């Protein structure tokens, strides 16, 4: 109060004020004590709501994720295996690993094997992989091969590229991963002439222990025949149009119409030729995806073949939780401008009330 004691009589004034304070009447005291609400009204409704709603929402989110994990892990495993084993055009060689294991005296992989040698080396049922040579066919193959060590991995990677080169193909991409402590992997995207695809698959599979193999073919012969027929028809139509245009009795309108048809036919022929060339090119080569790994289970990449159901459950649940998080984040991003505007509005109202309060107390 030092700021105020600058006038005469300050002390007397304060003393008088303090000496005669208003005293609360006894009736007020009784009223306050008797009129106090019961114990049931003490708890804060908002706080209780927050304390209940937040854990319940979190529990629901986690529960939904677990339910999703349980449901999807039960069916997902079978689906993945089904994919690995493949449909009718796919040959799976999961069993081949067993047969290799049963042969301790397995010969060392030889990358210079002939076609006959490869077929003799592979397990019997893999010899059934045949790619028709008398038709235009596009072939896709996927192989997983396990090698014994990091040095073998490096060697097998080099040998794989040499194999495809020797067969007239090439390596589109090579991805090599190796660490001192963990497993080493190499992912190769290879392309070889279709006629040499079987040989390539056999020799690549012989680089180590063949863990899995998928081969799919797509017949392009019918497509090629259809395009050839279309081109023939268009050529005949072009000849007819050209002959007709030589006729001098055509009216101007008819001539223009024929010229348009001729131009369209020529354009279509060009397009069909390009498409046929693409079909032929596609049928000329086979795409081979080769995975080399030092992992003893032969598991690489995001597949779930070897993981247990619990792992899949956790993975599915985590994925679902992440999805929930994304949804919440998205909602926050969408709502944030509204929240900012709401906050601004709340602040403005508060400031207005504060000013009104000051004016009210200063003028009442």
Partner 1 sequence: MRAVNALPAALRPPGRVGAQSFADVVAEHLDAVYRYLVYLTGDRAAAEDLAAETFERAFRSWRRFDPRRGAPRTWLCRIAHSTAVDWFRAEARRQRREETYTRDEALLEESVFAEGLSPELDRALRRLTPAEREVVALRVLLELDGPSAARVLGISTTACSTRLSRALKRLEEEMSHVRS
For tokens 């050839």, name the residue.
228
The minimum distance between CB 14 and partner 1, in angstroms, equals: 6
The answer to whether 156 touches 145, Cβ cutoff 8 Å, is: yes
The minimum distance between CB 30 and partner 1, in angstroms, equals: 6
Query: Where do contacts with partner 1 occur on this chain (CB under 8 A)?
Result: 1, 3-4, 6-7, 9-10, 13-14, 16-33, 35-39, 41-44, 47, 354, 356-358, 360-364
Phi, psi angles (nearest 5°) of residue 216: -130, 140
The minimum distance between CB 52 and partner 1, in angstroms, equals: 17
The minimum distance between CB 54 and partner 1, in angstroms, equals: 18
Give whichever of 46 and 98 is closer to partner 1, judged by the CB atom.
46
The answer to whether 200 touches 288, Cβ cutoff 8 Å, is: yes
The minimum distance between CB 75 and partner 1, in angstroms, equals: 51
Token pair listed for 75: 């069916």
The minimum distance between CB 300 and partner 1, in angstroms, equals: 58
Q: What does DSSP say about strands 285-293 and 170-177: parallel, antiparallel, or unpaired?
A: unpaired
Give whichever of 22 and 302 is closer to partner 1, judged by the CB atom.
22
Report the alpha-carbon angle 291-96-197, nearest 5. 55
Give whichever of 38 and 337 is closer to partner 1, judged by the CB atom.
38
Question: CB neighbours of 165 closer than 8 A, spacing ≥ 6?
Answer: 171
Give whichever of 101 and 354 is closer to partner 1, judged by the CB atom.
354
The minimum distance between CB 62 and partner 1, in angstroms, equals: 30
The minimum distance between CB 57 and partner 1, in angstroms, equals: 23
Give whichever of 4 and 253 is closer to partner 1, judged by the CB atom.
4
Give whichever of 332 and 349 is closer to partner 1, judged by the CB atom.
349
**Which of 58, 364, 90 minimizes the C-alpha distance to 214?**
90
Give whichever of 34 and 134 is closer to partner 1, judged by the CB atom.
34
Give whichever of 254 and 351 is closer to partner 1, judged by the CB atom.
351
């Amino acid at each position: 109060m030092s700021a105020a004691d600058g006038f005469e009589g300050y002390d007397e004034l304060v003393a008088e004020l303090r000496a005669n304070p208003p005293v609360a009447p006894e009736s007020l005291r009784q009223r306050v004590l008797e009129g106090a609400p019961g114990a049931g009204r003490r708890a804060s409704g908002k706080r209780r709501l927050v304390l209940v709603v937040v854990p319940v929402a979190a529990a629901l989110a986690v529960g939904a994720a677990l339910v999703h994990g349980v449901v999807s892990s039960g069916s997902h495993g079978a689906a993945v295996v089904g994919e690995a084993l493949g449909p009718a055009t796919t040959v799976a060689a999961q069993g081949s690993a067993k047969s290799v294991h049963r042969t301790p005296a397995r010969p060392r992989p030889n990358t210079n094997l002939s076609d006959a040698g490869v077929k003799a080396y592979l397990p019997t049922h893999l010899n059934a992989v045949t790619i028709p040579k008398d038709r235009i066919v596009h072939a896709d193959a996927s192989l997983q091969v396990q090698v014994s060590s990091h040095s073998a991995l490096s060697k097998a990677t080099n040998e794989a590229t040499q194999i495809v080169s020797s067969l007239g193909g090439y390596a589109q991409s090579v991805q090599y991963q190796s660490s001192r402590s963990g497993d080493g992997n190499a992912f190769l995207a290879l392309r070889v002439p279709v006629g040499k695809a079987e040989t390539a698959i056999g020799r690549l599979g012989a680089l180590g222990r063949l863990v899995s193999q998928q081969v799919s073919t797509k017949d392009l012969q019918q497509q090629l025949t259809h395009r050839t027929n279309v081109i023939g028809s268009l050529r005949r139509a072009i000849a007819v149009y050209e002959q007709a245009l030589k006729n001098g009795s055509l009216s101007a309108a008819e001539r223009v119409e024929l010229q348009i048809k001729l131009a369209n036919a020529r354009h279509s022929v060009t397009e069909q030729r390009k498409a046929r060339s693409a079909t032929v090119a596609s049928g000329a080569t086979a795409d081979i995806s080769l995975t080399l790994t030092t992992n003893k289970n032969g598991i690489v990449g995001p597949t779930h073949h070897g993981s247990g159901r619990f792992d899949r459950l956790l993975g599915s649940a985590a994925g679902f939780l992440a999805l929930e998080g994304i949804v919440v984040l998205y909602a926050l991003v969408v709502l944030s401008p509204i929240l900012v505007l709401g906050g601004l509005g709340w602040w403005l109202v508060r400031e207005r009330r504060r000013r009104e309060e000051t004016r009210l107390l200063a003028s009442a």
